[in-house]
């Protein structure tokens, strides 16, 4: 610009340049100055007139009379110097990776939904104003971070309203819900959602994998059922085709035989007719030849007789042919009916028979397996019971062995065991006689005159006869030191009564005296 002004002043001061009336070059200078001003204004206007490309938004801010900023997409505008400035927002899409994990579903199950969302700055009039207010001057990474936070929050909210099975089965509906929820929030900062791509859905409890295994098992079972059904239909179709083929062959054979019989009959009829005509011609010729040798009546009679004979022969042959053809047709119909019955009754009956045999084999195998399992369970139960009884018997044997060792004498151990059981035996005997009408009670008494320990011992020893009788009834043999019951009397030995221990001396158990032999 400075060079241009210097050049203009040089031209104005150069000799030969036209001057004004007063002889000064002022008019030319003013003209050149005006042209310079116009040129500067034009250049400034051109430089401040900004065109907006299709992949950008022109944001003019400052004194715009259109709010905080004026957004232009796909056009051009003049940016007033000093009062306005401008900047661009890129419309190129950017990918927001969403590694969403541990999101709670409606069943309170943790779900991981890694997703990729493609977004961009919106070019809608109202949303462009939001982008100009909140995103102008920010880098793509900053915009992507804001969008990522918004998308994660909205996806968690959407997952909380849905079940895992609905998310996995109807992903299209899930993406629509996510798209709607995310789009509303992103429009607040000037962004729009282009695509939502769910890479995978997983949960910590393995519910989705279990659903997949269940669906795969159901599909395999249904496929097996379909294969069996198709095989059954194929076998039925083959049987029906074979039946139709045999019926068609039988019908065609019958029709052929009937046609052959009909042709043969027609042939014989024509031959017979021609033979009859020939006979008639010969008869007429012979009659004419006989002429006068026979009367006309005789000739006619002879011709008539021959014609009737020939007609009867031809009619008989025709009837024979009809009977033969009818017989063959009946045979063909019988064969066809047999084929039909075989296809409709025998083949299904064979199939039912095989199915019943297979079912019976399966039931037999099942019964065998059940019986085998029951036998094994019974053997195990009896083995356990035997071990338990063996353990009880071993315990009793050990106890008895220890008792015999402690007593020092098997008879003493037997007496101790019997004494333990006397109360139980007495209770049993009491229950046995408690309801019997008893008129008399006999009490054995030793007859001791004096009291004290001496009389008590005699009374106890006097009870030996009933004690022996009671033991004999239950199959026990009391030890010899308790006395024996002889024939008509009982020998008892009065036990030695232990004297009271002296003060300070250890207590001793009374030792029963041995019976005299």
Burial class (CB in 10 A: 0-12, 13-18, 19+), 201: middle
Cα–Cα dist 136/119, whole Å: 16
Instruction: Mention every residue, 6+ apart, whose C-beta is less than 8 A from residue 226.
Output: none
| pLDDT recorded at residue 95 | 92
| pLDDT recorded at residue 257 | 86
Q: Quickly count: other Cβ atoms within 10 Å of residue 32's Cβ.
A: 18
**Lookup: tokens for 494:** 């009065």
The domain segmentation of the chain, as residue ranges, is: 2-50, 86-205, 240-386
CATH code of 86-205, in short, is 3.30.479.30
**Lookup: tokens for 327:** 């017989």
Contact, 88 vs 56, CB < 8 A?
Answer: yes
Cα–Cα dist 45/444, whole Å: 151
User: How far is C-alpha 158 from the chain's CA centre?
Assistant: 28
Local structure of 77: helix, strand or coil: strand
- Helix, strand, coil percentages (3-state) for the chain, rounded to 5, are 65, 10, 25
- Angstrom distances, CA of residue 221 to CA of 12, 169, 172, 218, 363: 104, 20, 28, 5, 22
| pLDDT recorded at residue 503 | 45
- The dihedral formed by the CA atoms of 496, 498, 499 and 503, expressed in degrees to the nearest 10: 160
Cα–Cα dist 303/282, whole Å: 9
Contact, 495 vs 510, CB < 8 A?
Answer: yes
Q: Is the pTM of this model over 0.75?
A: no
Taking only the tens of pLDDT, the chain with its 517 residues reads 445 445 544 544 444 444 444 445 677 888 888 888 888 877 777 777 888 888 888 888 888 777 778 888 877 887 877 787 888 888 889 999 988 888 888 888 888 888 889 999 988 888 888 888 888 888 889 999 999 999 999 989 998 888 888 887 888 888 888 888 898 899 999 999 988 888 888 877 677 666 767 777 777 888 888 888 888 888 888 888 888 888 888 888 888 889 888 888 888 888 888 888 888 877 777 767 766 666 667 667 777 787 787 777 878 888 888 888 888 888 888 888 888 888 788 788 888 888 888 888 888 888 888 888 888 888 988 888 888 888 888 888 888 788 788 877 777 777 777 777 777 777 887 777 777 666 655 555 555 455 544 554 455 555 555 666 666 666 666 666 555 555 444 444 444 434 444 444 444 444 444 444 3
């Amino acid at each position: 610009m400075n060079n241009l002004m210097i050049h203009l002043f040089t031209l104005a001061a150069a000799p030969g340049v036209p001057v004004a009336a007063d002889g000064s070059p002022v008019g030319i200078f003013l003209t050149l100055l005006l042209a310079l001003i116009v040129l500067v204004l034009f250049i400034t206007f051109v430089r401040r007139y900004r065109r907006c490309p299709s992949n950008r938004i022109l944001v003019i801010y400052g004194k715009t009379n259109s709010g905080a900023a004026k957004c232009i997409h796909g056009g051009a505008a003049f940016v007033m110097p000093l009062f306005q400035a401008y900047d661009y927002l890129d419309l190129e899409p950017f990918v927001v990776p969403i590694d969403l994990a541990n999101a709670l579903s409606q069943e309170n199950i943790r779900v991981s939904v890694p997703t990729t969302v493609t977004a961009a700055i919106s070019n809608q009039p109202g949303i462009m104003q939001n982008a100009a207010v909140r995103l102008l001057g920010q880098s793509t990474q900053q915009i992507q971070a804001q969008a990522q936070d918004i998308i994660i929050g909205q996806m968690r909210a959407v997952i909380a309203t849905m079940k895992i099975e609905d998310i996995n089965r109807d992903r299209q509906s899930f993406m629509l819900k996510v798209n709607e929820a995310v789009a509303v929030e992103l429009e607040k900062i000037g962004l729009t959602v282009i695509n939502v791509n769910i890479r995978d859905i997983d949960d910590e409890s393995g519910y989705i994998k279990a659903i997949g295994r269940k669906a795969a098992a159901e599909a395999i079972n249904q496929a097996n059922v379909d294969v069996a059904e198709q095989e059954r239909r194929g076998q039925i179709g083959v049987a029906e085709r074979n039946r139709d083929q045999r019926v068609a062959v039988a019908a065609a054979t019958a029709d052929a035989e009937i046609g052959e019989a009909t042709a043969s009959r027609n042939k014989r009829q024509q031959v017979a007719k021609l033979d009859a005509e020939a006979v008639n011609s010969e008869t007429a010729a012979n009659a004419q030849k006989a002429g006068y040798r026979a009367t006309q009546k005789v000739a006619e009679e002879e011709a008539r007789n021959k014609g009737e004979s020939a007609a009867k022969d031809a009619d008989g042959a025709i009837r024979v042919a009809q009977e033969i053809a009818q017989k063959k047709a009946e045979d063909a119909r019988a064969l066809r009916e047999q084929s039909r019955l075989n296809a409709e009754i025998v083949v299904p009956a064979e199939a039912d028979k095989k199915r019943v045999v297979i079912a019976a084999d399966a039931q037999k195998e099942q019964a065998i397996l059940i019986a085998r399992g029951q036998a094994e369970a019974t053997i195990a139960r009896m083995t356990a019971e035997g071990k338990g009884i063996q353990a009880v018997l071993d315990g009793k044997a050990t106890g008895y062995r220890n008792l015999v060792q402690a007593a020092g004498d098997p008879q003493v151990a037997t007496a101790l065991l019997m004494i333990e059981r006397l109360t139980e035996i007495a209770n049993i005997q009491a229950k046995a006689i408690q309801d019997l009408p008893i008129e008399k009670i006999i009490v054995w008494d030793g007859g001791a005159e004096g009291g004290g320990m001496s009389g008590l011992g005699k009374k106890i020893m006097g009870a030996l006869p009933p004690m022996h009788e009671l033991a004999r009834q239950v199959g026990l043999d009391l030890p010899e030191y308790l006395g024996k019951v002889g024939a008509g009397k009982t020998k008892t030995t009065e036990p030695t009564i232990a004297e009271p221990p002296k003060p300070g001396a250890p207590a001793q158990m009374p030792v029963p005296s041995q019976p005299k032999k």
